[in-house]
A and B are shown apart, each in its own frame.
Chain A
């Protein structure tokens, strides 16, 4: 029953890992050819989409920008907007771990975004001007303030946001559903307020011989925030990834996003991912089957938070400034809407949600506003009513497609009867090409559907 005595399939240690990674990478072309053979249209469409996505910033810069307004009916997003698509993409994928995989409603996700942003602000700015601590950064030695390179700040932001995620989660994850949402909401409100108000800190802590004294210490810059923050800098190539660097920051964001996607996907397809799903399905049964539910939920919370930490550090380093105004409750809601509209539980869905909503928020609505202002200057600017649009979209989506644009099949089944049947059919098709070398189930699909529908009826009766 154990199977532990069998000889292991993969070598251990770093060499084994490297061999495995090499194997996976060298297997990719074959996998792509297989995909091309089995579902040609899908493979081609996805390939074109991927190439367009990767080359978009370059295309935009050299070809599209010049004539876009007259050729395309809608404005194209510029580099700043695309960078924010990446930032929100990272956040949506992180929130999806909490809300999508583990089923925990987190309404204070922006707090971790703020923590990431302020981590970068503290560690790469002249803010603490009384000290000078420059390590491997793109500033002269002796320059006032703490200056660490972005590449060190990102892991630190992961650590800070993850730690706060665990600290918040430890006492609150015993709560369920609505109560958890309320507590996270409170946390999301507290963190930006703390950052806004810690501009004048005075305290005197005596610990025996040591005493820590702060006299009117400006810790967070108050409402003005902290600036300038060092831009991410790539030595040798001499690239500074700031707002004036064109499309370079887009690729930095893309890199972090790809890492985020890989991490989230690997977690989903592991025992932790299965434990999260089990908790989402039936927390009590999961606990009885030996899943340490508290620890598993805490892990979801901390890991999800760390994604927001990355997004926050990228945002403030890219913009070169941060203030607490960036981190309002509405941002938590915005990311949650991205996750829900895109397709909760599905990494690609929430990514699509992030891209689409960032586009609407930062490119489409301002454009619409300009057009309307030109015709009727007294008409209110729709860009100020962005949440009205998001709210309406959400209402319409909940009515017609509650599972989101690109749904996760499991979550779709939880939401609708139709989703369950569709998922069953899709599942049947998938089993035929599974990689476990097992025969597809012998039942025909019609019987399977009838049974699925029956099961739903029964559970609704209960």
Chain B
């Protein structure tokens, strides 16, 4: 992981690393909604232990791509492998994707662009719902309060409190999610995603609506997730300071296709990227 952290973005380009070093490998992924091609034949690799950003103008297909990795959408064509396992498979002419809860179980946690916490559940219970995927006690254990369920609940409580501590919300464990301030809600959403014990964390605009100091805190926190938990992070972000600050590699989507890929510096200077963001002609100036 340390070698990745110091690696140049261009060394992490899609197709340049062997499969065993990839956590996500997508090939020719396409998603069509009726006549609209939202994502068009995208090849996209996420190396293990890296922080990769996906950027692009509004409507470029970033969130659609996210939703295909998490199993919410099934691609129209193409393959996505996660940790060596296919998330979508093609059977004859039909694409069959894993369901979101199965993907979560494989080890992909996510947050949402507009926060989607369980509003009238406590912060603690929100995190415990995230842990649900690893709990093995069944309903009859709950009915009779079997020891294995009680032990599991006790361990879950401890683990959830640890996660709340990690995001500085241990004091608000019993507050309802919807009553928390905005920044706390963002961090609670990450804690909930971490409770699923992901290998890959997908963050959809984690600093949206934050001020400069909150943004800095969040950036540091994301970096910490990689170093302390060995997480791989895929980031959708509009704030270029965040993207440039923490990404090992940046991939730029426009109209559903990859128009540039490389280290933050390379991408920033790429004329096609400037054109996509600022319009034709801007690149020449």
Contacts from A to B (Cβ < 8 Å): 1-4, 6, 8-13, 16-17, 20-21, 263, 266-267, 269-275, 277-278, 281-282, 284-293, 299, 303, 409-411, 413-414, 420, 423-424, 427, 430-431, 434, 436, 438-439, 441-442, 448, 451-452, 455, 459
Are A289 and B142 in touch, CB under 8 angstroms?
A: no
By a CB distance below 8 angstroms, the chain A residues around B112 are 285, 288
With beta carbons under 8 angstroms apart, the residue of A1, A414, A441 that contacts B197 is A1
B interface residues, how many (CB within 8 angstroms)? 65
Are B197 and A2 in touch, CB under 8 angstroms?
A: yes
Q: Is B279 an interface residue (CB 8 A)?
A: no
Q: Is B68 an interface residue (CB 8 A)?
A: no
Are B155 and A4 in touch, CB under 8 angstroms?
A: yes
Residues of chain B from 174 to 228 with CB closer than 8 A to chain A in the complex: 174-176, 178-179, 181, 192-197
A351 to chain B, nearest CB (A): 18
Are A17 and B104 in touch, CB under 8 angstroms?
A: no
By a CB distance below 8 angstroms, the chain B residues around A20 are 145, 147, 150
- Apart from A284-B72, A289-B109, A289-B132: 12 A-B pairs, beta carbons within 8 A: A1-B163, A2-B159, A17-B145, A266-B142, A271-B128, A281-B120, A282-B117, A290-B105, A290-B196, A303-B139, A438-B170, A451-B181
Are B158 and A3 in touch, CB under 8 angstroms?
A: yes
By a CB distance below 8 angstroms, the chain A residues around B144 are 17, 266
Are B125 and A274 in touch, CB under 8 angstroms?
A: yes
Are B118 and A288 in touch, CB under 8 angstroms?
A: no
Contact with A along B136-159 (1 / 0, CB 8 A): 010101111111111111111111
Give the nearest-CB partner of A271 in chain B. B135
The binding surface of chain B is classed by DSSP as helix
Task: Known A286-B118, A288-B72, A291-B132; judge A2-B155 contact (CB<8 A).
Answer: yes
Give the nearest-CB partner of B189 in chain A. A285
Are B99 and A287 in touch, CB under 8 angstroms?
A: yes
By a CB distance below 8 angstroms, the chain B residues around A274 are 121, 125, 128-129, 132
Complexed CA–CA distance, A20 and B145 (Å): 9
Complexed CA–CA distance, A436 and B194 (Å): 22
Give the nearest-CB partner of A411 in chain B. B120
Task: Known A299-B139, A413-B120; judge A8-B151 contact (CB<8 A).
Answer: yes
By a CB distance below 8 angstroms, the chain B residues around A271 are 128, 132, 135, 137, 142, 152-153, 156
With beta carbons under 8 angstroms apart, the residue of A286, A299, A434 that contacts B129 is A286
Q: Which 5 A-B pairs have the closest CB atoms?
A: A290-B133, A290-B104, A270-B142, A10-B147, A410-B120
A242 to chain B, nearest CB (A): 30
Complexed CA–CA distance, A455 and B99 (Å): 32
Complexed CA–CA distance, A291 and B135 (Å): 11
Complexed CA–CA distance, A287 and B102 (Å): 9
Selected A-B contacts with CB under 8 Å, 30 pairs: A1-B194, A2-B155, A3-B156, A4-B155, A6-B155, A8-B147, A10-B151, A12-B151, A266-B145, A270-B137, A270-B149, A271-B153, A274-B125, A275-B129, A278-B129, A282-B116, A285-B117, A289-B129, A289-B195, A290-B132, A290-B196, A291-B101, A411-B120, A413-B120, A414-B120, A431-B175, A441-B174, A448-B175, A452-B178, A459-B178
Are A289 and B196 in touch, CB under 8 angstroms?
A: yes
By a CB distance below 8 angstroms, the chain B residues around A409 are 120
B61 to chain A, nearest CB (A): 19
